[in-house]
Amino acid sequence: MAEVSSQARPRSVRDAEAPCACPACGSSHIRLFYEVEGVPASSCLLFDTREAALACPTGDLRIGFCSDCGFIYNTAFDARRTEYSGRYEETQSSSDTFNTFHRDLADRLIKRYELAGKKVLEIGCGKGEFLLLLSEMGDVEGVGVDPGVRLDRIDPSAKVRFVADFYSPSHNSEAPDLVVCKMTLEHIPRVLEFMTTVRQSLARNRSAQLFFMVPEALRILDDCAFEDIYYEHCNYFTSGSLARLFRRAGFEVQRLGREYANQYLTIEARLAPALSPVVLPEEEPLAELASRISTFPARIDAMRAHWRSVVDHARSGRKRIALWGSGSKAVAFLTTLGVGDAVDLVTDINPVRHNHYMPVTAQRIVAPAELRSLKPDIVIVMNRIYREEIATALSAMNLSPQILCLHAS
């Protein structure tokens, strides 16, 4: 059992002038609509000791909505509190479900953009899995930039070059045919400035294509997915706000899509020859988004109360809870709900995470095989897309706990 409770303290929601202008459009018309104090600032970091996990830096969530462009962001975000390095463990490549999706996505991009023999620059390539897939499946020359890339895990025979750094104008000489940026833009505080840098990087190949993927925020708003609102994600995009950002940065938006059971939002774009006024049908109207924002505080309060009661009920019945998944969603579950001292077990299929400790709440991350002896009564699945995979694994261990999923509908 964790020895300390979460430091997170949900605050009452209030309308207030946010402390900084919208990073996507410069407007000062920002409405704060969701606040939690003292959440872990680095929810994917691996901590070797309980003491180090307890000492994980924290920060506040003060999520604001720009009524001029629809951009949603943490107005209290401070990049100095986060750490992206080799001990940042975000990979999902231990999951068959995710790997199947990744291969399918690589296959579609290779065909759509006829990538054989071409150059792909991936900004925020993580541990490099997707670029290596493109290289293997499509004979692609790859360059990956990410401060957390682990060169020691890369096969030296791969046709991909990795740069362990943040993306910056110094990488503009790469002249890529396709720029890929997956699950990264939501981490970047000065987002319009970043997109302007990307536009400048295409000066040597003005026909280059862009493929970006981010978490889809309409689902977060509709499902009240509190586990998907955490410190490293300073930005939350809808199809409308993402497309508006791209147009403002000088791109023509060609396609908006959703992937992975609508959890991810994708955008494909290229340099616009002139200011591009074309709005795609997938972009939700600003008024519709504002309406969702206005009802969100009451709805998410109810959602958090529900899950707190699930945990309290289990605890009073002396039932043992295990969270399946130890990444950002589990960190947010433990800290946003303030149930860090009531959840005994956290497991994960990624072996790199085993025997490390959860930030702030300090549970040891156990291998799924340890559940055989630890015998949880309830398993809470952090991402419902893995429910069948997890149920199969539990069954193979002759375990039959109650399985609950967040937002199972």
Binding site for Zn ion (CB under 5 A): 22, 24-25, 27, 66, 68-69, 71
CB within 8 Å of 305: residues ≥ 6 apart: none
The minimum distance between CB 66 and Zn ion, in angstroms, equals 3
Q: Which is nearer to Zn ion, 27 or 49 (CB)?
A: 27
The minimum distance between CB 317 and Zn ion, in angstroms, equals 47
The minimum distance between CB 247 and Zn ion, in angstroms, equals 13
CA angle (161, 116, 242) in 5-degree steps: 75
Q: Which is nearer to Zn ion, 68 or 223 (CB)?
A: 68
Distance (Å, whole) CA 326 – CA 348? 6
Q: Are the C-beta atoms of 264 and 242 separated by less than 8 Å?
A: no
The minimum distance between CB 188 and Zn ion, in angstroms, equals 15
Q: Which is nearer to Zn ion, 68 or 301 (CB)?
A: 68
Q: Which of 335, 337, 302, 290 is nearest to 15 (CA)?
A: 290
- Tell me the CA distances in angstroms from 386 to 7, 98, 214, 219, 400, one per residue in order: 29, 9, 19, 17, 16
Q: Which is nearer to Zn ion, 291 or 395 (CB)?
A: 291
The minimum distance between CB 30 and Zn ion, in angstroms, equals 8
The minimum distance between CB 215 and Zn ion, in angstroms, equals 19
Q: Which is nearer to Zn ion, 25 or 41 (CB)?
A: 25
Q: Which is nearer to Zn ion, 31 or 364 (CB)?
A: 31
Which phi and psi (to 5°) does residue 142 adopt? -120, 145
The minimum distance between CB 192 and Zn ion, in angstroms, equals 9
**End-to-end Cα separation, the chain, in angstroms:** 30
Q: Which is nearer to Zn ion, 245 or 300 (CB)?
A: 245
